[in-house]
Amino acid sequence: MITKAERAQIFADPTLGAGNVLHRVLAYGHPRDDEAIRTDGTWLAPDGTHPAVLSLGELDDVVRTYASWYHARGVGPRDPVAIQTFSSTEFAVNFLALTSLGAIPSFVNGNLRPEIAREYVRRQGAVGVLTGEAHREVFAGHLGELSLGFGVTAADVRATGSLPAVFPYAHDRTDPIIISHSSGTTGMPKAVPHTHETLLYAQLHRLKLSTGTSMGRLLVALPGSHNAAISVLLFGLLLRSPVYLQSSQRGADVLDAAEEFKPTTIFGFAGTYGEMAAHDLSKRDLSSVEGWYNTGDAAHEAHVRALIAQGSHEWIGHDFKRVRVPGSVFTDGLGSSETGYSIFHNGHRPGSTSYGRCIGKPMSFAEAAVLSEDGKPLPPGEIGRLGVKSPTLTPGYWNDSLTFHRLRLGGYWLTGDLSTQDEDGNFYHLDRAPDAIRTAAGLVLSTRTEELLLRELPELTDCTVVAVAPDGVRADWDGDGVAEAYVLLQTTDPRSEDEWTRVVNAALTAAGFPALTRALVMDASEVTKGATGKVLKRELRERFRAKLIAGERA
């Protein structure tokens, strides 16, 4: 962890931004033998090995090798270069190398279908593409139609010894330094650029606050193609904290990585935490964990409670002295690719009670409101669209300003979520607007319904509420039709689906929630997830609708 003097050096540096963190910390004199990155063995280094650890100096050497290789192929400032791989370390190294040239890495999630990946890259105007070996055939034979100057794999990267006369590139705060993409839950992913300023803004803000021991060792279980993963990596480099880049977001794999690496804080999405919580954590060694950091969608209470029972954390006692107490802290946030990381924070520790989809208040640098359809802020207790303003917000979708501006209302950017506030100004994440379901029994807010069921029915490991509407009928928040709502249960409880339907609706009715048409038991493998691990309720809706039309039991 950095010293107070090193922290002051960071804040005194007017050139520091997301595009030059590696080079600036080396200029500050951070030791080159500091451990910087721990890999999961998925990255193929230029020397043909799969190193487990990279020191700060070794990372700098690798970045220079990649940069010289790109430079020899004519890549320069403002050139987008597409990267598709399964390796989080590969994404990170390419980010650092390309930004050192002033180029713009365009990240393509390895789980995208080939035809979507190609169309996505075509829209970026990329000058070339580098892939992992598993994605070689995605672009092979398509370079001409995509106007790509080169298509290579990581195995082709070799040092050329040649770098630009001015290296590293000197960024302006408005220069784009990354294009990552949204989860693609509504179809083609949106291309989300961030700048030298926007991607690091929140992390510099956090650096002004006390980080304590919880930021000593960071396990990043976020998708490597997501800008949040890069944001955490940059934070770790500034803090002189080792960062483990975990390429798989599966709960079991993250637990294995935690036992190996002994992190103090784990970063991930709610879906990963849900999978982790489904395991018997008493059989896992999570003693090193002090904190969990969630971004994307808010996490479910049942999953949070299972995780914060693990590990320990420091706390200020009644005598104002720091003491270590059992249990960890879960920082729940709501964020997206567009917001450049979470801009809401709600901390949970053993004994906390601020659940019920509460995401807390926006960070001090941001502003949020629950908006009516005409863009007016609604009073507490009213449900509306969540709008945000923040210096961390993307400047707009790459080559698609129309879509970006359609998501602006009343001066706010719309996150796509439905929200409400309490009298104390706390925000609550109720659902995604496309996932809300208008039924004959009333408006079903799918995420809030799932939250209640997981809390009230401990036999469930997870559940998903989806709509099944007649052909041509739209019954979400923006629709005016009516659909039926089903809940898909993940459980080993032997009760029949008729019994489960009665149990589920009894819990919902007691809470004043609309009843659902039916509860269906399904295996976790049947839950369709997108490239970033989010449940694709759109695809689940279509699948179950097709089965019901065919007269099958889903």
Per-residue pLDDT of the chain (554 residues; tens, 9 = 90+): 788 899 999 999 999 999 999 999 999 999 999 999 999 999 999 999 999 999 999 999 999 999 999 999 999 999 999 999 999 999 999 999 999 999 999 999 999 999 999 999 999 999 999 999 999 999 999 999 999 999 999 999 988 879 999 999 999 999 999 999 887 655 689 999 999 999 999 999 989 886 678 999 999 999 999 999 999 999 999 999 999 999 999 999 999 999 999 999 999 999 999 999 999 999 999 999 999 999 988 899 999 999 999 999 988 877 888 889 999 999 998 888 999 888 898 999 999 888 999 999 999 999 999 999 999 999 999 999 999 999 999 999 999 999 999 999 999 999 999 999 999 999 999 999 999 999 999 999 999 999 999 999 999 988 989 998 888 899 999 999 999 999 999 999 999 999 999 999 999 999 999 999 999 898 766 666 555 555 556 666 666 666 665 555 44
* Fold category of 200-430 in CATH: Rossmann fold (3.40.50)
Contacts of 388 (CB under 8 A, 6+ apart): 339, 343, 362, 366, 367, 368, 412, 413, 415
CB-side neighbour CA atoms (13 Å) of 143: 15
* Look-up of token digits 């420091």: 314
Q: How far apart are the first and last CA of the chain?
A: 52
With H, G, I as helix, E, B as strand and everything else as coil, classify residue 58.
helix
Closest CA to 81 of 157, 172, 148, 173: 148
CB-side neighbour CA atoms (13 Å) of 204: 21
CATH of domain 436-549: 3.30.300.30
Dump pLDDT digits (tens) for 320-350: 888 899 999 999 988 889 998 888 989 999 9
What pLDDT does 530 receive? Answer: 55
Contact 264, 216 (CB under 8 A): yes
The helix (run of H) or strand (run of E) holding residue 83 is strand 80-85
Indicate if 436-549 has the same CATH topology as 200-430. no
d(CA 529, CA 294): 18
With H, G, I as helix, E, B as strand and everything else as coil, classify residue 212.
helix
With H, G, I as helix, E, B as strand and everything else as coil, classify residue 455.
helix
Contacts of 69 (CB under 8 A, 6+ apart): 157, 158, 159, 160
What does the domain layout of the chain look like in residue ranges? 56-194, 200-430, 436-549
d(CA 447, CA 453): 10
Dump pLDDT digits (tens) for 459-499: 998 898 999 888 889 999 999 999 999 999 999 999 999 99
pTM value is 0.92
What pLDDT does 294 receive? Answer: 95
* Look-up of token digits 């995401």: 359
DSSP symbol at 507: H
Contacts 24+ apart (CB under 8 A), 471-479: 475/437, 475/438, 475/439, 476/433, 476/434, 476/435, 476/436, 476/437, 476/438, 477/418, 477/431, 477/433, 477/434, 477/436, 478/433, 478/434, 479/438
* Fold category of 56-194 in CATH: Rossmann fold (3.40.50)
Q: Are strands 322-326 and 312-316 parallel, antiparallel or unpaired?
A: antiparallel
d(CA 318, CA 92): 43
Closest CA to 102 of 47, 168, 33, 57: 168
